[in-house]
Structure 1
């Protein structure tokens, strides 16, 4: 187990692409940190820099008190689990899990004890003599995790390990990874573009955009208190509804829609009123008129998609929003409803700067 510290870490490629921009981060011993962001934002590059698979252009990475910028990947005492499993097809499960231990000179008895113990933890002991092509995707991912566990690393690194699994298995493996990390107490860094995965796994989230950390904190903090428009849009499922508005000194206006209750906002600037689907409710006296286009039934609740009447995008198009209601509420397509929203949970952003104002 170990602390990990990143200080002003940058990565610039030979073609001039600046993939990671001045990242600073302190990861505590035993903490589970998740890097989340869209494809191409730099999250995997940052993880690979910790692993030693990418060089650091500028800045420092420390594991405990050791600066590891120039330490070879094999000597960093980190273990990485990849998206594509990276198993040797000609070796058995036992052979795959023991390969790294043989290379570092562990005794046969040590290797066997570690492999068997890890296999029992991951419920794959019955597969030790099979080859990867005889296993399901979930079983292969367990083997890849077992190969990492037996090394008893200071830090676990996960690079989108569940992306190749079906939806049901992803949920199951997500739970198992969390339980395993809690049991072992190993400092872990996990990369994903799936914000549901990120929210459920992380002790703390780092939302990454364009090579920089937009915001870092506990998942619920980023959901309730996003500092930027990007974070608010990325965290939460379904996505937050964003209504383009301007403040005239008294009201927020979008097309013919007028919203009361806000003060001390910059006048005439491009703003966005953010309301999450779960913070809207059907109310005959509500200020928002909403025409239903689609109803999705999710069992415990329904997601209702439609058009916010009178509001408009900056291009003059109809503004589509989403409303989450309980399963007993199932209005009909084409019906028009009045909506109220939770004022205390409404967010306002400056669209030019991306910063949150309220």
Structure 2
């Protein structure tokens, strides 16, 4: 893979890797065990330039899609939860403002978010509307004076208890402009906004996922995302595809880290008087893992180069192909690596089981396997099978 990347791209990846090695690796076991997100690293991520790094202007780095992918895989080699922070901040919250926001909204929020001085979240999913966001029950009612009043509940919202601003998607219907789902920029100190972290998680423990309650949250008329591109579900879906693209690369970082952990272990651990790496079964497993990781990187690289050179050619089915298969591959490698570590593999001294647990969440969010299978199936057959009409 080395020859596929420019010197600038490799230098960026190594810069991110150095921060992961210095700041994340020595601490991640403790953060994971204590279920703590290390907020103190956010300014460092801002200085590194990875927050909204694929966006242009407003203090953002303006990096390529491939550079963003390389950064994502280095971050996820440290932990999926920390790559998720960068994804929620940049690909969801910042992208929503950058793609759909007013100039005033962009000036107010994007520079601070790029620097890590402000944190954002993205409120789409609800307790009863996960894979079917069109059935969301959160409403936005526009009053005669122009103010909007938001009411509803959002669930599994990353960073909400830490966020300074939330992008909230709500149904307007007959209560507003009659144009369906719209996005709103909501400062989290607005009266009626509250967030509570979801506890007792077995996955993504060094991360924060929350439930948001919106109780008559009053916003000025200019809080709405005004761009025509934000009308309906196409608005949030454009942001979701940015996040899904980062996952295609990110999960390969978790797979690579799991592979490296078990390679080092089998070279150093002796059983029956010889290193585990000397056995044929071990070498066969290592070989299969290495081939799968390189295939996943080639898929991510192809999508990334296409995104940089011909973005119109990057279809939802292409993104779904990458997200679906690379998540499957990564979680399989993490599980295999845990098995090869034996009993030692269940401790936080070794990374594969932590990665495997985290990847259960990554495989689920931004579209389950089934959602991506149906997206690909719709492209193959021309028939949308997301809903089934009863006779």
What TM-score range do you get, normalising by the shorter chain? Answer: under 0.3
Larger radius of gyration: 1
Where is the helix percentage greater, Structure 1 or Structure 2?
2
Where is the strand percentage greater, Structure 1 or Structure 2?
1
Q: Return the TM-score normalized by structure 1.
A: 0.27
